[in-house]
A and B are shown apart, each in its own frame.
Chain A
Amino acid sequence: MININELTALEIGEKIKNKEITVLETVDAFISQIEKVDKDVNSFITVDKEEARKKALLIQEKIDSGEISGPLAGVPIAIKDNISTKGLLTTCASKILDGYIPTFSATVIDNIEKAGMITLGKTNMDEFAMGSTTETSHYGETKNPWNLNHVPGGSSGGSCTSVASGEAPVSLGSDTGGSIRQPSSFCGVTGIKPTYGTVSRYGLIAYGSSLDQIGPIGKDVKDAVSLLSVISSYDEKDSTSVKRDDYDFTKYLVDDVKGMKIGVPRDYFTDDMDTEVKEKIYSAIKALEEKGAIVEEFNLSLVPFAIPAYYVIASAEASSNLERFDGVKYGFRAEDYDDLHSMYKKTRSEGFGSEVKRRIMLGSFVLSSGYYDAYYLKALKVKALIKEAFDKAFAKYDVIIAPAAPTVAPKLGESLKDPMKMYLSDIYTISVNLCGLPGMSVPVGKSEGGLPIGMQIIANRWDEANMIKTAFAYESTGEYEKCQMLKGGEA
């Protein structure tokens, strides 16, 4: 008997098409896994069980009649809870969006529905995507399925754990400073942050508008890339959406890196990194070299400046993006206020968690009168310099290989004690967002303690092709340990 939960999304799609399994069977298999393990992992804020089962029958009909025929038709999917889903609770893991049911869906939701995919539910995350551990959620922390005493990473922690623990075949996350790539690395799954402008942000509840991108998470490169092809589109509703020539990225799933020029930044592989992480990535690079890639070390430069520039820009944008949560239009409104401003302040102070408030305060400060030039404008100039550094690198290399994080997943509770340390751990992922580059994390094995390690592949803007080729070629070497999904009660 086949275990549906262990199949990849493409395998599921294939078996549905061949009538080996039904859509409803598939949905039920994932729902039962959620019911079995989610009390331990806490991947989901909302599970849309009834609706998903209803949709399953509907989609089955459409597949049978030939109306839908894509490779992911009938495949269930988990959605990060900052992506608007019409009629389905969307909270950003914040109390302030308590009870908020969007009246419209994000463009990516329209896209997955057109492809015949079925939303299982909404996944847990750091509140408003601010955090790297999925511990700041109003709905409790999510745990790493490989070791429940460790964090899954974040902010798309729930999306990554849902895939890693067999609760969903694929999922959608969002990435503002590494929020797809870092938890993918910690959970042993594949996650892609596309070039800024590739996937519509319409309906994604904004954290840092100039940095946010939605991206796919899957068990392997093929799944993630297939899902990327589904969600990518030019969208007239998103002014920052850019029309690309082609949205079929699956054609780059080619096992060939002969002559591919790979740059390895010396200033990324420093002593601050875990040796285990470093070794695993080096051996992955070696595997690529053996396949014919040309590997060269180089100095990227400016590495330490990415984090401070990022925190100024992201916090500034966040402080403005989160102003709309005020108790007037949706979500939570505090009780017992005296007047308008006390209503605003009470609502926001009670509705936002401490990490969100910390970033709103910082963002409001750096934009305030007298500080704009010194902080905000300075950060935008540094961003320009960092972009130049990457432009220079991509003049020489097709892709850059980097860690996704300096360590494996830390223990629960460790990071929040020292936010500065948590911010510093984003060092390898943040520049990709500042420069709008595509980046992805692929599993390269596990630590001695049994925690997954990921490798990040970064390409130039619009060059998903080389990034995907490199990832697929590495995955084809089959040298890493395949993930194992969590089984209920085994923890």
Chain B
Amino acid sequence: MSNHISDETIEYVGILAQLDLNEEEKVKAKEDMEQMLEYIDTLNELDTEGIEPKTHISDTTNVFREDVVTNGDGSDDVLANAPLKKDEYLSVPKTIG
């Protein structure tokens, strides 16, 4: 099978996506992904040799801002929704130095 997704792959993608799946979810995720990738592989029926990948649908370029300060003190807004804060900071479990 061309799209065999290993347990390690599911584990690895879980780390990348910061998702902790339980055993049942992992089995389901494996099946889902294998099925989706099988389907996605139909794209290989198309010859795309020499085709420029289309990242942006519009041809617009050079959208800029001038270097002028427009924003004031945003601290109240930043902290307004924080699940955990201390003084004027957001608080998170200690990061490793």
Give the B-binding residues of A (Cβ under 8 A).
99-101, 103-104, 196-197, 210, 236, 239-240, 242, 302, 304-305, 307-309, 311-312, 319, 323, 326-333, 337-346, 348-349, 352, 354, 357-358, 360-362, 364-366, 368, 375, 377-385, 387, 419-420, 434-436, 461
Contact = CB atoms under 8 A, between A and B. Distances in A.
A348 B13 CA distance: 14
A71 B19 CA distance: 48
Contact of B83 (A332, A362, A375): A332
24 contacts: A101-B81, A210-B55, A210-B57, A302-B46, A308-B42, A326-B18, A331-B83, A339-B94, A340-B92, A340-B94, A341-B18, A345-B14, A348-B19, A349-B21, A354-B25, A361-B17, A368-B12, A368-B13, A380-B55, A381-B48, A383-B53, A385-B46, A436-B57, A436-B58
Nearest to A211: B57
Given A236-B65, A329-B82, A337 B43 contact: no
4 closest A-B pairs by beta carbon, nearest first, are: A380-B53, A330-B81, A436-B57, A381-B48
Contacts of B77: 103-104
Given A329-B81, A346-B20, A352-B19, 13 more contacts: A101-B81, A103-B81, A242-B58, A341-B18, A348-B19, A357-B21, A380-B54, A382-B43, A382-B46, A382-B48, A384-B52, A387-B54, A420-B35
Given A101-B80, A103-B80, A343 B19 contact: no
Contact of A368 (B16, B20, B36): B16
A interface, over-half SS: helix
A197 B37 CA distance: 31
A378 B57 contact: no
Given A329-B90, A340-B95, A378 B48 contact: yes
A349 B65 contact: no
B20 to A, nearest CB: 4
Contacts of B86: none
B53 A377 contact: yes
A101 B56 CA distance: 32
Contacts, number: 158
Interface residues of B, number: 51
B38 to A, nearest CB: 10
A365, A368, A461 interface centre (most CB from chain B within 10 Å): A365
A463 to B, nearest CB: 14
A345 B25 CA distance: 14
Contacts of A420: 35-36, 39
A365 B55 CA distance: 19
Contact of A242 (B10, B33, B60, B82): B60
A302 B42 CA distance: 11
Contacts of A305: 42-43, 45-46
A461 B12 CA distance: 40
B19 A361 contact: yes
B32 interface: yes
B48 A348 contact: no
A196 B57 contact: yes
A387 B57 contact: yes
A361 B37 CA distance: 12
B39 A308 contact: yes
B91 to A, nearest CB: 9
Given A236-B65, A346-B20, A349-B19, A210 B56 contact: yes
